[in-house]
Amino acid sequence: MTETPSTTSAARVSEDSRRRAGVRKALAWGVHFYTALGLVAAAGIVVCLVEATPAAFRAAFALMALATLIDATDGTLARRVKVKEVTPEFDGRRLDDLIDFLTYTCLPLFLVWRAGLLPAGWNAWLLVPLLASAYGFCQVSVKTDDGYFLGFPSYWNLVAFYLYMLEPPPLVTLAILLIPSILTFVPTRYLYPSQPGLLNRLTVLLGVPWAILLGVIVWGMSPTDHVDAATLTTLTWISLFYPAYYLLASFMVTARVHLRQRSRRDDYNSSPPPLAA
């Protein structure tokens, strides 16, 4: 059979389409692999927490930061590559949730126990944030349609870090563990920095110096870096500017939403009933 220019062109187009589809599938699986690196970081954290030395705790916090970086960037990559379309047989979000529950909840709470941040006999209280976080992760509406987290978003890695660095009194430590656990069940909106919006852009902008400051603190935790404990404590207190901003901004957003909803209800209740036909 003699090939015509049209059949040759069609074959070339078909070959190019197959090649592009192969590249897209490779990129999609590459994003899934990138997400799975968070699980590798989680395995490293477990090893550090079993060792439970100051150097190991420092390495655990560094790996938690790495896992957070992966979690903060894999969603953008997944949307750009359109992994749901290219690999519909694999649920990357489920993989992401499994890793997040380990690196944001289970392992940070395990660190609180291994580091002895609660007095002997008090460690059963750690089950409260563990169960509360499990509830939060399983909520269908944990992310609102207007781009916020609903309920405390299980930032237990940060809670563990600040408890470890500042070593507050036992009752304060317990309160810091219980209050966010309770807030998991309260329908309060929390900023979701990767979402669009002016406030989220400001949050990301402020997060850059904060992340650098945390990096300096973790680096200074090494006994060979000759950074005294008083300096590290001061830097840790300074770094609290970002969690304070995050919580304040989130509570302000919640208050604004509630006021708007109340205003709509008042307008509805005050409007005259429709006339009977």
Task: Note the pLDDT of residue 50.
Answer: 96
Q: What average pLDDT does this structure show over 224-244? A: 89
pTM for this predicted structure: 0.85
Task: Note the pLDDT of residue 277.
Answer: 47
Task: Note the pLDDT of residue 6.
Answer: 58
Share of the chain above pLDDT 70, in %: 88
Written in H, E and C, the secondary structure of the chain is CCCCHHHHHHHHHHHHHHHHHHHHHHHHHHHHHHHHHHHHHHHHHHHHHHHCCHHHHHHHHHHHHHHHHHHHHHHHHHHHHCHHHHCCCCCHHHHHHHHHHHHHHHHHHHHHHHCCCCCCCCHHHHHHHHHHHHHHHHCCCCECCCCEEECCCCCHHHHHHHHHHHCCCHHHHHHHHHHHHHHCCCCCEEECCCCCCHHHHHHHHHHHHHHHHHHHHHHHCCHHHCCCHHHHHHHHHHHCHHHHHHHHHHHHHHHHHHHHHHHHHHHHHHCCCCCCC
What pLDDT, in 10s, does the model give residues 169-188? 999 999 999 999 999 999 89
What pLDDT, in 10s, does the model give residues 109-122? 999 999 999 999 99
Q: What average pLDDT does this structure show over 217-244? A: 88
More confident residue, 17 or 274: 17
More confident residue, 195 or 39: 39
Task: Note the pLDDT of residue 4.
Answer: 59
Task: Note the pLDDT of residue 117.
Answer: 96
Domains by residue range for the chain, with CATH: 23-265 (1.20.120)
Residue 48 in this model has a pLDDT that exceeds 70: yes
